Amino acid sequence: MCSIRLGPESNGAPGIQVRGRRSDPKVRPCIHVCLVLWLTTASAFAQTPVIPKVEFDEAIQRAVANNPTIAQAATAIAHAGLLVQQARAVTLPTASARATNLTLNSEVGFNGLVTQPQNQSTFAGDLTVPVLDLTRWAAVPQAQDQVKIAELSTDATRRDIAIATAQAYLTIVVSRRQLEVDQRALDNARAHMDYAQRRLQAGGGSQLNELRAASSASTSELRLENSRLALRRAQEALGVLLAADSAIDAGAEPAFDVPTVINEQDWMQARADVRVQQATQAAGERIVHDSWRDWLGTAAASFDPQYVVPKGLFQPSKTWRLTATFTQPIFEGGQRKVVRQLRELQVQQTKIALSNVMLRARSEVRIAQEAIRSSTLALENARTAAAQADDVLRITNAAFEVGATTNIEVIDAQRSARDAETTAALAEDALRRARLDLLVAIGKFPR
């Protein structure tokens, strides 16, 4: 009989152990296979890249600074700023210049007098000043409101990216904790399998016990590999959020300091989504308030100098013209009234959206507070259950070694201990996330 065990040695490289009877002819080819496996595993282990590690605060800062989603949101601020410049431009004077050259087949005249030269150049200019246009003037502060909304929306995007980064970081923490649990479970299962094999070789055990122990070890190895893959996926997710072209590992477990006293008037204004809705409502109310300007007329003044060379008989060389215009709309089929009603309807929609956001915010705070209370109690019970399951496993192993029980009880105790530790790890994660959710709900995260 031959058994193979792979595991890390003191230098960090994978080691291999072979158990079997020297007289067994299957030992030699088994050793060859083991050597091949050891060389392959050692090569793969040596080529595994080292995953960089970041602490919680650094991860949040890097995500907020480097994530492409935030860069895309920042372009909305620049776009809104350009709209302000565009709205301001139409309220300023405009000037233009024009040059024209006219060539005829011959000059025009009568009685020896030239009324139109054969070749004549005209140089003209135009300066127009908007004297009265309240609608265009109102567009400037309205566009500035959109800049404020874009800035607050970018803050909300930063908040979302920070929350996603924090959740990915916590996923790595709990995945690493689960990996430790599964590694201990595998160590226990292998130790039990070794003991079953030694008893079988000594003639005091049974092949059934050995097969049960081997099956339990195989199941533990499968769970361990699944935990490794889950951890790597979480590390890759964190790397994407940090805009890094590699997986990023989490450092120490973050500590979330939750305030004991929560004032709604303070935390409600600290939430980015509430501020965005309030700014949107204020912008809509400004537009509705400015609707009266649509009923007023517009006035403009224009100055047009002109220089003609050579001059004609009836055309002086230097002229200028000053024009003043005033336009008052009288009837537009009720269009201005409908536009005002549409604006008022949009304001009503923003008020409803703000009310919905505030209701959801209060609910999030209450849920987070209840989750902290419940998760704290659950964690205490889970840790107690894990300690009790570990004691049961220790006592069961001792009883099995003296023949007071079967390996079925040992395997069951191992499974119970592993499940209890898993439950404790999940309870720890639930409490961390509940504290994070409360900080998010009251606008304390990100800081």
- At residue 175, the pLDDT reads 96
User: Measured between alpha carbons, how far is 439 from 170 in angstroms, rounded to an integer?
Assistant: 15
CA distance linking residue 215 with residue 226, whole number of Å: 17
pLDDT for 164: 96
| Per-residue pLDDT, 48 | 56
Q: Which of 86, 83, 89, 91 is nearest to 145 (CA)?
A: 83
Name which of 175, 265, 255 is nearest 445 in CA terms: 255
- Is the model more confident about 112 or about 317? 317
Domains of the chain: 1-40 (no CATH), 55-106+117-441 (1.20.1600.10)
How far is it, in rounded angstroms, from Cα 78 to Cα 91?
Answer: 21
pTM, full prediction: 0.79
Q: For residue 47, what pLDDT is reported?
A: 52
The stretch 27-37 carries a mean pLDDT of 46
Give the contacts of 67 (CB within 8 A, at least 6 positions apart): 161, 241, 242, 243
Contact present, 167 and 435 (Cβ < 8 Å): no
Band (108; pLDDT cuts 50, 70, 90):
confident
Token pair recorded at residue 165: 């980064």
Pair 37, 18: CB distance under 8 Å? no
Judged against a pLDDT cut of 70, whether residue 20 lies above it is answered with: no
Peptide bond into 310 cis (omega under 30): yes
Q: Is the pLDDT of residue 10 over 50?
A: no
> Is the pLDDT confidence value at 46 over 70?
no
Spatial CA neighbour of 294 closest among 318, 263, 327, 265: 327
pLDDT at 1 > cutoff 50? no
Phi, psi of 263 (to 5 degrees): -105, 120
Per the listing, tokens 């309030």 go with 278
The answer to whether 394 touches 191, Cβ cutoff 8 Å, is no
Structure tokens of 407? 């390996």
Q: What amino acid occupies position 407? A: N
Q: Kindly report, residue by residue over 357-410, the tens digit of the pLDDT.
A: 999 999 999 999 999 999 999 999 999 999 999 999 999 989 988 888 888 899
Which residues are CB-neighbours of 398 under 8 A, at least 6 positions away?
none
Enter the tokens of residue 69.
């989603």
DSSP 195-238: HHHHHHHTTSS-HHHHHHHHHHHHHHHHHHHHHHHHHHHHHHHH
